[in-house]
Structure 1
Amino acid sequence: MPLPSSFCPYVGLQPYTEEERDFFFGRERDQRVIASNLYASSMTILYGASGVGKSSVLMAGVVPMLRTRARTAVVVFRDWQRYDFLTALKGECLKCVALATQKTVKTAVDRPLDELLFSVGEEFGGTILILLDQFEEYFLYHPESEAGNTFDGEFARAVNRDDVDANFLLALREDGLSRLDRFRARIPNLMGNLLRLRHLDAAAAEDAIRKPLTAYNDQLDQGETAVTIEDDLVRTIIDQVRSGSVSLAPSAGAGQPQDVEDDTRIETPFLQLVLQRLWEEERGASSHTLRLATLQKLGGAQEIVRTHLDAVMAQLEPREQTLCAGFFDRLVTPSGTKVACRLDDLGKWAGDLADQVLPVVNVLSESRILRTIAAPASQPGMPPSYEIFHDVLAPAVLDWRRRFVEQQTLEEIRREEQNKRDQERAEREREQELEKTREKSRRMRIIATAALCVMALLASLTFYAFQQRKEAIRSQKLAVASQELAQQRLHRIKNSIPLIKAALSDDPFKNLDKLAASTPELFNKDITFKVTYKSLNYTNPNGSSVYNFKIFPEIASIPGGIKSIASITYRMAHPTFAVQLVPTSPNDKFTIAYNGWGTIDVIAIIEYADPEEAPTIAIIDMEKVQTPE
């Protein structure tokens, strides 16, 4: 079948699928090793760094290879965000066995997993190979505390039973390996067959570049021009996408482990993203050669990768960017794990911009920033869910949101400063007009007094002297009062600007200490803040217990009530927070919540509804005010 004109043999950030197996190269040895282990062991654990290509090697390499073997049913499952995932997994097992046998399977889907696999295995008479991809998401969506979840026990029995002819492969991120401890008590020798998928080396990366072009050219109609690639471009791309050379964000992100491999290892998603961009650029210019000059014109691999997300976000309107900033942090945990969220939940978080959510997520889905997850077939009326398209995008999404929020905060400060300057200018202009009116009145009084002096010179002179002295005293008082008012307003503005800048600086507590003595009135001592915490019953990779913290002001302690405050922005001044500026509003009662461990000092920037009132700062010592929820 001829390829469509829009076809690209490189997939960008999305994993290769089984339909794209003819264009998947560079993992031939890994495919054979994984397939052999899957056949030989009842439990195989495949792990690797985020973005190393686990899903691609399984879907485009291992699965097509296994499907060619007789009496073998291959099941692939990754829909862990579903509340009914266990039923869906069982249904997929029955579907794949029916496909392998070309017969209807009689086993009921409501049986426990081990019993279902035993029963369907008796009907099948062959081997069932079950690949559970992106398994780290199972722990994210289904914690041990989840009520009614029987998967742990059913899965362990299915692995342990000798009479169940089914072998399992768990594919997960390297930083999720420790979470498998949840099964240690149930599955003996759980970690006995570990396979690590490493980044491509230079030779494999060259295959991943050249061989898809060969496969593409082989499928061209007779007379069509083949696509070629310059040798210098191949060498340059491999050199520029080595591990650690490029990233989608300035840093890997909190909780993103760095792959400790030599510098000949290639970042697969970045390699594919660069190749896809070069293909689109050359084909858009009707060129049949991928050229080094085009890569250089685009700024090299680092620039292509770095601007991928920013280029998409720049196409959105300011209101749409504000909307994305409002829900991006819901789609990524602080540790960089993507989380699926339903469309109606995104609408609730969007507030007044709820009607813009669907058009925006559609744009992001078309640009492969988000992935759409359809509702279960059993619940067709349920809204779809959305998640970050690829794990490697998670740090970039958090970084974009951080930069956007910081820019919005600085712009708000500049607007407030400009408003204050405009108000002062208007006040000065009013004072000048008033002075002109006074001057005109004085001249009229002088003329009238002069006319009266003709009739009664002595009386008029006495009266005039008295009036002039009285007017001078009144004018002097008005001038002094106006000057004092202007000086007070200017003093507040001058003091508040360094205070806000200090709170937003790299070392806020040191800079705030310097200002405490000179501007104590801008440090809020009236409003008291509370911190509550609740255990989430799991630990981080360092063994520390993880809690859900909430920080909020006691409404009763606000002198003017909740309506007197426009917003409170919390500065989480600690390197473990990817997003350090968190704005809040009266709608959420100025409350923030996050998952973490340990306590820190938090800076609260309080902005008032009255534009005449300067912002103030409060320092929250979480350790002193925290109480269990």
Structure 2
Amino acid sequence: MRNPWVGLRPFTSSESDLFFGRRREAQILGNLVATQAVLVLYAPSGTGKSSLLNAGLVPAIRHDESQVAVVVGNDQDPMEALRSALAQTGWRVPPELGLAELMNEFWLDQDRRTIVIIDQFEERINAGHQLEDLYAAMTKLSHSRSDAGCVLLSIREDYIGALEPLMRRIPGLMDGSYRVPPLSRVALESAIYGPLRTIESTVSVSENLVRQSLDDLFQRSNLSQEPGEQRFEPGYFQIVWQRLWDDNAQRGGHELTLERYRKLGGATRILKDFTSGILNGLEPAQAQMFWAISRYLVLPTGAKTSLTVDDLTQLLQPSDYVKSFTQSGGGRARSWLTHLSPHQTTRLVRQVLQRLTSSQAPLFQRVIRSDREEYELLHDLLGKILLEWRREYEEVIVQQTSRVATDLQESLDRMLHGLTPGEFLSGTTEPSDEALEEFMGSSADYITHFGRELRDGFRGSTTREIDAAVDRAVMFKIVGDTVMSGNMSLRYEMRRRLSEHGASYGLNTLDFIRVALEHPRDDVRRKLQSTAPYLVETPTEYTPRKKSSPLRVAFGVLVGAFAAVASFAAAYAISEGIFSVLEIQYPFLTISILALLYTAVYAGTATDEASARNGAIAVFAPFLRPGRGLARLRRGLMTWPLPALYLTLFCLLGAWLFGLAGWAPTAGFNLAALPGLFGMALLSVWAYEA
């Protein structure tokens, strides 16, 4: 047995037998199209205009042989729709006639009036359709006072002002217009019992349920309602009762009861599930933007406010966006949406609100007050629902990013154990001596390819290929930014290789955001937006999971100190004769202090963490890292004990110059140590960038 309530979508002409509660309105509308040449039908969003036309007016016209109904589709040209409909009546359509002339010719020849119905006219206005020809035809039809037919425009009440160009042509346009009134309680009751009689259902309805559900759904509006007008959304009514019917059918019950309604959570819970379904259907960028602006549209008490798009974009702060990665310091990295330009932010806010005011997702309404175009919640019940959604959505985002961060950390750990790129991505555990070299080359090559794919718009790619490209680009981008945070030499190497490929880590942030927001393919947009936090807002600090123990770190430091002293001792032994000639006092003590100072500077420029084996190699034997030719030579020139010898000779030069001037050579030695340490630090960086 079919569900007698259609839910949120409008009724169709074939469902006129289920359409109850609007008999009087359908009769009034039928009388108006029979007597007027141009008619504007308007009402607030969600009032049921489309259902009234489809299931009320159109069936009545089709049962009247003196009239022909021409329903113009949203993407259809009115002239083409008219010609096609008239041709289907068997009439030979004359060529090269305008809309008004064609309607008049059909009336004179067939003695039948033509009713042209253009529903959701605001969508044509928003889409920027050329309306001059249509307005000219409507003006001609109106001024000719012909009985050939009627052109009916159905439009949302808040878009009435957009008809001003037509009003100038037809001064009395709105005098004969019709505003669809709100549904009365009696009409709603008939919309409950009437469909059940139509389908001859054996399911009964509790009167207590009818009373309670209508009490829950009827609300008074504080801002946009006429005095005494009760706010009721027919779409919400349909959602609640469709859910009750489906639940009863699943249980095999024979009565819709108040007890079951309460177990389902009442209208609030049913509408919450409905709201979550709409918001979960938003693109990732739209959902994140709505999360940011909703704090201004719904107060912490659940009360609604009315704001314009400009109001919202001016109020937005970086802290309003849902955060992505958690950084090592405990704070959150800012959202990738903070990189949007003011124009992109305004455009995205407008897209979100236009989507949430559409008939398919009626959560908000657009209200014109003076010269302000404001947006507000459609129903008071939605305030607390959205507050709860905000909390749940933030938790979901945090869980998702935490999961991704964990997966990335595990991948980094696998790479640190020497896996090849293939093994790294697949998660296998077979080690390879050349893993790092191969992985860095593969990273740069692939991420450059991804940048090319972005520029080309993923043309011709399948969804699976796009997913693979984005997933691997995310991995390589994060590895390129954060790999081996205990080994600066490896980080320099990764960045150098990526830079050589001209990829800038494969992505230009602003170009990437533009493609993620504007790409014509829905699957590409959603994929890029869902991974944007990892491609745009990668955390700059990434602590490896397997840290060195304090004992091993201390051992590494001791090894470094011993090597430093030993290296300078060797330099002292080599130049001992010179020390004696220059008469430097306490030479071994002086050179040992210098050794310790230089070790601190050298270690600070060469490594982030002095772990035992890797730290010792990075500080004292940088030439052991992968590299060829001049890069290996540059690093070799800074291999111990050569740095100690360079610094010792520089200090001895200072002592010699002081001796020539008749000053104490020891003072010259010590003073030369300061610029010497600074120069050696620069040489260390130069060597590690090789």
TM-score computed with the length of structure 1 as normaliser? 0.52
Pick one of 139, 158, 167 that aligns with 2:150.
167
Select the residue among 541, 559, 562 that pairs with 1:420.
541
CA spacing shift, 1:444–1:176, aligned 2, 3 Å: closer
Whole-Å separation in 2 of the counterparts to 1:244 and 1:179: 28
8 Å CA contact retained: 1:332, 1:338: no
Q: Does 1:435 find its partner at 2:557?
A: yes
- The structure richer in helix per residue is 2
CA distance in 1, matches of 2:455, 2:193: 46
Q: RMSD over aligned Cα, in angstroms?
A: 5.1
- What residue ranges of structure 2 are gaps of 5+ in the alignment? 292-336, 338-346, 361-452, 468-526, 574-579, 609-690
Aligned residue in 2 for 1:552 = none
Q: How many Å apart are 1:471 and its aligned residue?
A: 3.5
Q: Quote the offset at 1:441 in angstroms.
A: 4.2
- How much does 1:350 deviate? 12
Q: Give the conservation status (yes or no) of the 8 Å contact 1:78–1:134.
A: no
- Alignment partner of 1:185 out of 150, 168, 187: 168
Distance in 2 between residues matched to 1:25 and 1:350, nearest whole Å: 53
SS at match of 2:261: helix
* SS of equivalent residue, structure 1 residue 130: strand
Shift of 1:73: 1.5
- Residue 23 of structure 2 corresponds to 28
Q: Are residues 105 and 482 of structure 1, via their aligned partners in 2, closer, same or farther at CA, if it must alter by over 3 Å?
A: same
Contact 2:40 2:174 in 1 (8 A): yes
Higher-strand-fraction structure: 1
Q: Name which of 28, 45, 48 aligns with 1:53.
A: 48
Deviation readout 1:410-448 (Å, 9 max, x if unpaired): 8889861xx515279979999756414225648989999
Distance 1:207 1:77 in 2: 30
What are the Cα deviations for residues 447-482 of structure 1, in whole angstroms up to 9, with x where unaligned?
99xxx9xxxxxx9xx99x855642333323543687
The one of 78, 83, 92 aligned to 1:91: 83
Q: CA deviation at 1:348?
A: 10
Q: Please list the CA deviations of residues 244-299 of structure 1 after superposition, one character each: whole Å capped at 9, or x if unmatched.
A: 68xxxxxx9xxxx9444646332111111111122222212222322323332333
Q: How does 1:450-461 map to 2 (within 5 A)?
A: none
Q: Distance in 2 between matches of 1:55 and 1:350?
A: 41
The amino acid that maps onto 1:76 is V
User: 1:127 is matched by which residue type in structure 2?
Assistant: R
Identify the residue that residue 276 of structure 2 maps to in structure 1.
310
Q: Does the 8 A contact of 2:217 with 2:232 survive in 1?
A: yes
The answer as to 2:38 corresponding to 1:43 is yes
- SS of the residue aligned with 2:541? helix
Q: Which residue identity is paired with 2:114?
A: I
Flag structure 1 segments of 5+ consecutive residues without an equivalent. Answer: 221-225, 246-251, 341-346, 361-403, 453-458, 488-629
The residue number in structure 2 matching 1:108 is 94
CA distance in 2, matches of 1:339, 1:289: 31
2:103 corresponds to: 117
Match of 2:593 among 472, 477, 485: 472
Match of 1:151 among 110, 124, 134: 134
Per the TM alignment, residue 64 of structure 1 is displaced from its structure 2 partner at its CA by 1.6
Name the CA shift for 1:351/1:311 in 2 (closer, same or farther; >3 Å): farther
Q: 1:474 to 1:443 in 2, by over 3 A?
A: closer
The question of 1:240 aligning with 2:216 is answered: yes
Deviation, 1:51, is 0.6
Deviations for 1:529-582, whole angstroms, at most 9, x for unmatched residues?
Answer: xxxxxxxxxxxxxxxxxxxxxxxxxxxxxxxxxxxxxxxxxxxxxxxxxxxxxx
Alignment deviations for residues 172-225 of structure 1 (CA, whole Å, 9 cap, x no partner): 110111122111232242112121112212221111122212222x2x6xxxxx
Q: 1:267 to 1:318 in 2, by over 3 A?
A: closer
Counterpart for residue 67 of structure 1: 62
Equivalent residues of 1:48, 1:172 under 8 A apart: yes
The C-alpha deviation readout for 1:138-170, integer Å capped at 9, x for no partner, is: 322345xx4x95222122212322345212322
Structure-2-length-normalised TM-score: 0.47
Match of 2:194 in 1: 211
Note the C-alpha offset of 1:76.
Answer: 2.1
Q: Counterpart amino acid of 1:49?
A: P
| Distance across 2 between alignment mates of 1:242 and 1:485 | 70
Instruction: Tell me by how many angstroms 1:20 deviates.
Output: 0.6
Residue 196 to residue 472, structure 1, CA distance change in 2 (3 Å): same
> What count of residue pairs does the alignment treat as equivalent?
391
User: Relative to 1, partners in 2 of residues 1:424 and 1:212: Cα closer, same or farther, differing over 3 Å?
Assistant: closer
Distance 1:447 1:483 in 2: 22
Secondary structure of the corresponding residue to residue 10 of structure 2: coil
- Using the TM superposition, name which of 436-445 and 16-25 deviates more: 436-445
DSSP-derived class of the 1:191 partner? helix
State the AA in 1 paired with 2:106.
V
Please give the secondary structure, in 2, of the residue aligned with 1:422: coil
- Secondary structure in 1 aligned to 2:41? strand
Is the 2:37–2:141 contact (alpha carbons within 8 Å) kept by the matching residues of 1?
A: no
Distance 1:334 1:67 in 2: 34
| CA 1:295–1:53: 2 relative to 1, 3 Å | same
CA displacement at 1:311 relative to structure 2: 3.5
Counterpart in the other structure of 2:119: 133
Give the corresponding residue for 1:606. none
Letter in 2 for 1:121: W
| 1:38 and 1:167 in contact (8 A); partners too | yes
Q: Alpha-carbon deviations, 1:221-255, whole Å to 9, x = none?
A: xxxxx11222222122212222468xxxxxx9xxx
Distance 1:139 1:317 in 2: 24
Mapped to 2, the partners of 1:73 and 1:157 lie a distance apart of 20
Q: Do the aligned partners of residues 282 and 482 (structure 1) sit closer, same or farther apart at CA in structure 2, a change above 3 Å counting?
A: farther
Partner-residue secondary structure (3-state), 1:192: helix
Q: Distance in 1 between matches of 2:116 and 2:529?
A: 46
Q: Matches of 2:178 and 2:141 in 1, distance apart?
A: 21
The separation in 1 between residues aligned to 2:173 and 2:268, in whole angstroms, is 40
Say which SS state the counterpart of residue 154 (structure 1) adopts: helix
Preserved CA contact (<8 Å) 1:77 1:132: yes
Contact 1:31–1:61 (CA<8 Å) still a contact in 2? yes
- 8 Å CA contact 1:31, 1:62 repeated in 2: yes
Tell me the distance in 1 between the aligned counterparts of 2:356 and 2:261. 30
Is the Cα contact below 8 Å between 2:113 and 2:147 reproduced in 1?
no
1:278/1:190 Cα in 2 relative to 1: closer, same or farther (>3 Å)? Answer: same
Q: Which residue of 2 aligns with 1:198?
A: 181
Is the CA contact (8 Å cut-off) linking 2:20 and 2:190 kept in structure 1? Answer: yes
SS in 2 for 1:150: helix
**What is the CA distance between 1:15 and its match in structure 2?**
0.3
Q: Deviations over 1:458-511 (max 9, x none)?
A: x9xx99x85564233332354368779999xxxxxxxxxxxxxxxxxxxxxxxx
1:77-133 Cα offsets, whole Å, 9 max, x none, are 242x34xx13323224414xx44xxxx111235421111111111221122222222
Give, in whole Å, the separation in 2 of the partners of 1:349 and 1:177.
Answer: 42
**Amino acid corresponding to residue 204 of structure 2 in structure 1:** T
Q: Secondary structure at the match of 1:238?
A: helix
Instruction: For residue 405 of structure 1, report the CA deviation from its aligned partner.
Output: 12
CA contact (8 A) 1:23 1:215 kept: yes
Asked if 1:18 corresponds to 2:13, the answer is yes
